[in-house]
Structure 1
Amino acid sequence: MQTNKLICRLGAIGSLAIVSFTSTIVSADYPNVESGPVFDERGRLLQPSNFREGVFIGAPLTPHALNDGKAGFPEFHNVYVDRAAYRHFQRTGEWPEGTVLVKELQLVKKGTFDDGSRLEASGRGYFPDEPNGLDVSVKDSRRFAATDGWGFFNFGHHAPPYASAAEVAPAEACAACHQANAHDDMVFSDFYRQLTPLPTPAMP
């Protein structure tokens, strides 16, 4: 596949991987994903490219208007994951090593009612506006042993373009909340019902 030719050596580990979510190159360190994380020589995570071509698993929303104007995460959270990691989770109920979950924030269109909602052709509700940030979480039990096997990265809380690389966030910034509140393996999986396989259609 010619989508992305950027191949980088993982700093301390030295194995090959590729950033693109559409790659078919498999890292020796992450055999159950198609596009594992890539770190530079400083240990920073490189921004995943083409992440919108991964599996879209959900978009939770906690708008300011429903949280006294003080929502910690007022945007839609559009979450994507590598296809192979998604398939592995559906088969086993576990996220494989090298799973990369990408959360792109998306602003809510300005509301016209007190609760922040507005009227559109489909009815009254909350509707997405422009992208406004990029967060990424990576499962690597060895690299992130101190935070239950996951590292969290922020590539900017603003309109794109986002940063090309990011340092792992301090535990108190992200990991601690996931450790205390996440539903399954540091992931708020109950918010992503697309993780549940569809039942087999009945034969006509």
Structure 2
Amino acid sequence: MAVAVSLVAGAVAALAQSGMAPASPTANVVDGSGHLRVPADYRTLYQALGTWAIAADNGQGSKEMHTVYASPGAIDAYRKTGHFPDGAVLVKEVFATSTNEMTTGTVSRADKPKGWFVMVRDSKGTHPGNPLWGDGWGWSWFDADKPLKTTSTDYQSDCQGCHVPAQATDWIYVDGYPVLRR
């Protein structure tokens, strides 16, 4: 037992010295001024919350697919408390779709990336005066060719309007994510 504890302690120390120690969920998402960016590693480190299909305006199929990911630990914390904890990061990928006939019927699939929507939970208001932070979140949209620079200028005018129907659930459409159910 003592050998196992020593090995684990040694591994943690080696990771810390190598600069590979686990960082907070927001370490590669938010800078000191509150500017957000798309985390480069979200597909491998984050957990999938769910996917939404946005119906085509005309005809069959979907015009967009939205796949949403949550930073490590966010889902477990939500299941325990019914709220996302401070620092939780949500990343929504938005794709244009292709719709084709397949043996199972008419099928839409994600095709070309359109961009990302990133939110960071912040119930304490850690970035006062930053127009992309408020109502308990940091909010930003990123075009597919610019994951490091948001096109959003003010969360109230650029982001929040789409989330008004989900205001009672901390601005997140939690009913679309079965993984959050206890």
The 8 Å contact of residues 33 and 127 in structure 2, kept in 1 or not, is answered as no
Which residue identity lines up with residue 101 of structure 1 in the other structure?
L
What residue in structure 1 maps to residue 34 of structure 2? 43
- CA distance in 1 between partners of 2:104 and 2:127 (Å): 44
Deviation of the 1:144 alpha carbon: 6.1
What residue in structure 2 maps to residue 137 of structure 1? 119
1:126-156: CA deviation from partner (whole Å, max 9, x where unpaired): 2222322111011112136773111211121
- CA distance in 1 between partners of 2:32 and 2:84 (Å): 26
What residue in structure 2 maps to residue 114 of structure 1? none
- CA distance in 1 between partners of 2:121 and 2:181 (Å): 20
The secondary structure found in structure 1 opposite 2:31 is coil
Deviation of the 1:51 alpha carbon: 0.7
TM-score normalized by the length of structure 1: 0.64
The 8 Å contact of residues 75 and 105 in structure 1, kept in 2 or not, is answered as yes
Task: Give the paired residue count.
Answer: 156
**Whose RCO is larger (CA < 8 A, sep 6+)?**
2
1:25-51: CA deviation from partner (whole Å, max 9, x where unpaired): 23xxxxxxxx12543355311321211
Change (3 A) 1:193 1:97: same
Higher helix share: 2
Structure 1 residue ranges without an equivalent (≥5): 7-22, 27-34, 112-117, 198-204
1:31-77: CA deviation from partner (whole Å, max 9, x where unpaired): xxxx12543355311321211121111111213x3x359xxx94111
- CA distance in 2 between partners of 1:108 and 1:167 (Å): 22
Higher strand share: 2
- CA distance in 2 between partners of 1:84 and 1:192 (Å): 15
- CA distance in 1 between partners of 2:85 and 2:126 (Å): 14
1:94 paired residue among 83, 94, 101: 83
What residue in structure 1 maps to residue 175 of structure 2? 190
Runs of at least 4 residues off by over 6 Å: none
Which residue identity lines up with residue 134 of structure 1 in the other structure?
W
- CA distance in 1 between partners of 2:74 and 2:26 (Å): 9
Change (3 A) 1:149 1:168: farther
Deviation of the 1:96 alpha carbon: 0.2
Deviation of the 1:195 alpha carbon: 1.6
Change (3 A) 1:104 1:58: same
RMSD across aligned C-alpha pairs, in angstroms? Answer: 3.0
What residue in structure 2 maps to residue 55 of structure 1? 47
TM-score normalized by the length of structure 2: 0.71
1:163-196: CA deviation from partner (whole Å, max 9, x where unpaired): 3243754112112332x21151110111112222
1:105 and 2:94 correspond: yes
1:84-106: CA deviation from partner (whole Å, max 9, x where unpaired): 11111111111000111000112
What residue in structure 1 maps to residue 10 of structure 2? none
Q: Bigger radius of gyration, 1 or 2?
A: 2
Structure 2 residue ranges without an equivalent (≥5): 1-14
